[in-house]
Structure 1
Amino acid sequence: MSYPPRRRSRGFRQAASLVAEPIRHAAEGRGFAVARLLTHWPDIAGPDIAARARPVKIAHSRGGFGATLTLLTTGAAAPLVEMQLPQIRERVNACYGYNAISRIIVTQTAPTGFAEGRPQFDHAPAAPPVDDPKTRDAAQAMTADIADPALQAAMTRLAMLKLSREGRTNRKATK
């Protein structure tokens, strides 16, 4: 018995219907049975909580009832999120329609995670050159043959830094 070929839909489809299935699979992989918790987090948790925390995963216990929701927040906002955990739990359970979440864990880290995040290291500002007339004259003598005035000024500053650093090193060695 052969079935007639399935008719393909013609015309335009809503964009949401095109991405609904991949989003559902990705959300279920992280434990989210209802993807609405991810996609409408600011509406569910409220704008103040959504600005400070976001849901990361839901873990279900083996034989117990209720799941554990893990929220990601920065270290500074963690105490504020901790104070609002009962309200967050009520709002999330209202999204599910029953007491799906029994516990919430707050994780404090950078919002980008370990792989993407890089610590910010600010370099210490360079020590200003010692404004010694002898050092300045020696640096200007070294850079006198440079024709470009901007380059000459930069090289003079570099020479002053180098000469003043050598002077400090020699003073330490003689003490």
Structure 2
Amino acid sequence: MTRAPGPSAPPKLTRRMRGFEAASGLVADRIRSAGEKRGFAVTRLLTQWEAIVGRDLAAMTRPVKIGYGREGLGATLTLLVAAAHAPEVQMQLPRLREKVNACYGYAAISRISLTQTAPAGFAEGRAEFLAAPPAPKPLDPVVQARASAVAEGAKDEGLRAALETLAQNFLARAKT
């Protein structure tokens, strides 16, 4: 008589860290696998696009995919560009390639190809090109003076500027 196999053991649960976990740690594997499907071995290129290429170029472009040729001599980065901005981006391609390769740490990208699209983008609106952020409103001189007085005691310039900005934001909101 053969014996029927018993119930399988429950899957072993991995113990989570105690306390709070960074949200990036919870989704890092999913982001990496989604990025690798499009050729992005370094997800920083996707998540920090604005910091890598600058605010002006990031407002006009979106990285879509990285394709590797058969020769293996560098990859091709495909960017979405609103059609009106394509000539401007085309002129900046050498500088853009240098910035992207600096992100990788070596000459990973040998060619950048532009795909022109409507300002709303394609892929169900996921590649929308946003307008420039609104210019900051001028502050009331009374609020500026009070914020300067609050931050006056700080000796470090960076800390003083941060405290002054915080006080300005707080006082401007309290006033409205």
Q: Which has the higher helix share?
A: 1
- The 3 A distance-change label for structure 1 pair 49 and 10 is same
- Counting matched residue pairs gives 114
The one-letter code matched in structure 1 to 2:35 is A
Aligned to 1:76, the other structure's residue is in SS state helix
- The 3 A distance-change label for structure 1 pair 6 and 44 is closer
Q: Deviations over 1:75-113 (max 9, x none)?
A: 100000000000100000000000000000011012431
Cα drift, residue 62 of structure 1: 1.6
Other-structure match for 2:99: 91
Q: Which one has the largest radius of gyration?
A: 1
- The 3 A distance-change label for structure 1 pair 42 and 116 is closer
Aligned to 1:103, the other structure's residue is in SS state strand
Q: Distance in 2 between matches of 1:53 and 1:23?
A: 20
- The runs of 5 or more residues in structure 1 that have no matched partner are 118-175
Question: Which among 53, 56, 60 is matched to residue 48 of structure 1?
Answer: 56
Structure 1 residue runs of 4 or more that deviate by more than 6 Å after TM superposition: none
Equivalent residues in 2 for 1:68-147 (5 A)? 68-110=76-118, 111-113=120-122, 115-116=124-125
Cα drift, residue 12 of structure 1: 1.7
Question: Which among 29, 48, 52 is matched to residue 37 of structure 2?
Answer: 29
- The 3 A distance-change label for structure 1 pair 46 and 79 is same
Name which of structure 1's ranges 41-50 and 9-18 shifts more when overlaid on structure 2: 9-18
- The 3 A distance-change label for structure 1 pair 20 and 77 is same
The one-letter code matched in structure 1 to 2:113 is I
Identity across matched positions, percent: 60
Q: Distance in 1 between matches of 2:78 and 2:13?
A: 46
Cα drift, residue 114 of structure 1: 5.8
Q: Deviations over 1:4-25 (max 9, x none)?
A: 9864433221111101110000
Q: Deviations over 1:34-77 (max 9, x none)?
A: 00000000000111100111110000012231000001011100
- The runs of 5 or more residues in structure 2 that have no matched partner are 1-11, 127-176
Instruction: Tell me the C-alpha RMSD between the 2 structures.
Output: 2.1
Give the TM-score normalised by the residue count of structure 1: 0.60
Other-structure match for 2:148: none
Give the TM-score normalised by the residue count of structure 2: 0.60
